[in-house]
Amino acid sequence: MSSSSSSFFRQDGDDERVALAPEENGVGGGPPPPPPSNKGGAPGGRRWPSVLRMRGVGSVMIGVVFLALLILIPRWVGLDASFLRDSNMVSTGTRQWHPHHNISTPPLMPLPFSCGNGTAPAPTTCPATTPSPPSKPAGGGDPTQSCPDYFRYIHDDLRPWRGAGITREAVERGRRHAYFRLVVVSGRAYVQTYRRSYQTRDVFTQWGILQLLRRYAGRVPDVDIMFACDDPGQVRAADFAAAPADAPPVFRYCKDKTTLDIVFPDWSFWGWPEVNIGAWPGLLEEVRRENERVRWPEREPFAFWKGNPGVARIRGELMKCTPSNGKDWNARLFSQDWNYAIRNGFKDSSIPKQCLHRYKIYIEGNAWSVSEKYIMACDSPVLFVTTPFQDILSRGLVAGEHYWPINRDHMCESIKFAVDWGNRHPAEARRIGEQGSRFVREQMSMDYVYDYMLHLLTEYGKLLRYKPTVPENAVEICAESMACPAEGRHRQCMDESVEKFVAGFGPCTLPPPFTEKEVREIAAREKVLRRVEKMEMENS
């Protein structure tokens, strides 16, 4: 366990000098206390009565301290970061994550992309030739660079089909869940649409896959996937307990432990134009600048959340934590009216401008919420309301290191306690915020998002027991056919996120599956919540 995460949860009465010791917190602290003085002692066994008197006083002092510890420690035992870690994932406090390529990487190959000069009609067909891979496909800038640990869930998601493989019949059984079917054949993408998704989830998901084909040209295998654009997982594991390989492999944005859906990055990494959210890299830079403008100690000492409470019952429960009747739960909660935001030009809905409170609350919506990565980016500790839903980001988060867990059954009390604790222990609270923010900046950068997609599709392609072919009613899509007819904010998002080069490097190295021991440690995360809950109750 890293020293950076060894003392997050100390008792309010703990010696503040200990809580802020530089060895534990990486922040400045006073010098260590001087060694006990030997003044007044006598060599050769002289002055024993004084020594005995001192020992007697010392024994009494030790006894008092011991009794105090007996009273205080049980309330806090097991609440340091070693008990709050969900798994043995490498701590962000001990490892710096960087793009896996560097200036010594072979030159990037420019990719053509043009919608004409504005006088000619925008192209509606795709180029006759596809981008070529580099002449010498290289490994990453650091051949030993392993992907982040959340990549290991790729093995978990594909486990039902590891033995028997994936048949065409199994894929086609997923049609009732799917919004579209996407097939890649020889580096070209084809889509058969079954139904339109909410807003442009389907459009920007397909756009993201096209950017993968451009970035890693010639390295994406032929695949045939069914994609669902709604929220909760639908392929129930219990329905295929006897024969897991018969389950339809359906790609979607999240799942829970009862479903077999395959988790894929959500559309908003490339933009969410309907709510004025641009592509992830640009937005992340805007948030970084806001973090610099309003430093954490200068922020309001409360927990902030803004969103649509009507999409889920649990959000309605959260709104009850608004200060009322003389009771302040340390939460500042705001209902988001998107119709008003659109009419108002999103003036009061800027995500970067919402980094003004010391704590941010993350809570699920109809399932997981896209807001997760934006909330994590603020450098403020995230009070993460426990949820059964898993997306690629949440799978990599470690309780006590990247966020503070909030009990969904008594959110108000849990939020108040977390904020009170953080305000009394600002150095440690601030570190949780910084480590969570660093996680999304580094381990959830677009480099790794694309690598996750490539590894997932590569492993999926290995399991196909048939050669994918273009469906009869499918339409070919490419960057030009999607972006050139687009207008307004939709076009802006595509221009922001289009891949302009073929990568001259390979992806990070896919780590192996979790061991049985690691699986047990991850399953123990519910014990973490119970420990935090006990701490809250004993200190209420």
Residues 464 and 535 in one domain: no
Per-chain mean pLDDT for the chain: 82
Predicted confidence at residue 13, as pLDDT, reads: 37
Residues 228 and 362 in one domain: no
- Asked whether residue 317 is domain-assigned, the answer is yes
Tens of pLDDT, residue by residue over 353-367, are 999 999 999 999 999
Residues 363 and 329 in one domain: yes
Residues 450 and 382 in one domain: no
- The number of domains in the chain is 2
Lowest mean pLDDT among 135-149, 216-230, 310-324, 504-518: 135-149
Q: Is residue 445 within 8 Å of residue 99, measured between CB atoms?
A: yes
Predicted confidence at residue 519, as pLDDT, reads: 86
**Rounded distance, CA 107 to CA 265, Å?**
27
Tens of pLDDT, residue by residue over 162-221, are 999 999 999 999 999 999 999 999 999 999 999 999 999 999 999 999 999 999 999 999
67: number of CA atoms within 13 Å, CB side? Answer: 5
Q: Is residue 471 within 8 Å of residue 106, measured between CB atoms?
A: no
Residues 281 and 150 in one domain: no
Residues 302 and 437 in one domain: yes
Per-residue pLDDT, averaged over 273-284, amounts to: 95
- Asked whether residue 92 is domain-assigned, the answer is no
Predicted confidence at residue 41, as pLDDT, reads: 39
Residues 301 and 427 in one domain: yes
Residues 179 and 285 in one domain: no
Q: Is the pLDDT of residue 393 over 70?
A: yes
- Asked whether residue 79 is domain-assigned, the answer is no
**Rounded distance, CA 490 to CA 229, Å?**
18
Residues 377 and 335 in one domain: yes
**Rounded distance, CA 36 to CA 500, Å?**
66
Q: Work out the pLDDT band at 66, boundaries 50, 70, 90.
A: very low
Give percent above pLDDT 90 in the chain: 64
More confident call, 443 vs 345 = 443
- Asked whether residue 465 is domain-assigned, the answer is yes
Report the DSSP pairing between strands 188-193 and 475-477.
Answer: antiparallel
Residues 341 and 215 in one domain: no
Predicted confidence at residue 253, as pLDDT, reads: 98
Q: Work out the pLDDT band at 537, boundaries 50, 70, 90.
A: confident
Per-residue pLDDT, averaged over 318-343, amounts to: 91
Give this prediction's pTM. 0.82
- Asked whether residue 484 is domain-assigned, the answer is yes
Buried b or exposed e, range 276-295, using 16+ CB within 10 angstroms: bbbbbeebbebbbebbeebe
The DSSP-derived string for 143-197 is TT-BPPGGGGHHHHHHGGGTTT-B-HHHHHGGGGT-SEEEEEETTEEEEEESSPP
Residue 307 sits in a domain whose CATH number is 3.40.50
What residues have CB less than 8 Å from 538, skipping those under 6 apart? 75
Give the domain range for residue 386.
275-390+394-443+521-539
Tens of pLDDT, residue by residue over 138-152, are 444 455 589 999 999
- Asked whether residue 249 is domain-assigned, the answer is yes
- Asked whether residue 532 is domain-assigned, the answer is yes
In the three-class reduction of DSSP (H, G, I as helix; E, B as strand; rest coil), residue 36 is classed as coil
Predicted confidence at residue 92, as pLDDT, reads: 40
Residues 292 and 219 in one domain: no
Tens of pLDDT, residue by residue over 25-35, are 333 333 333 33
Per-residue pLDDT, averaged over 254-258, amounts to: 96
Residues 431 and 360 in one domain: yes
Q: Is the pLDDT of residue 43 over 60?
A: no
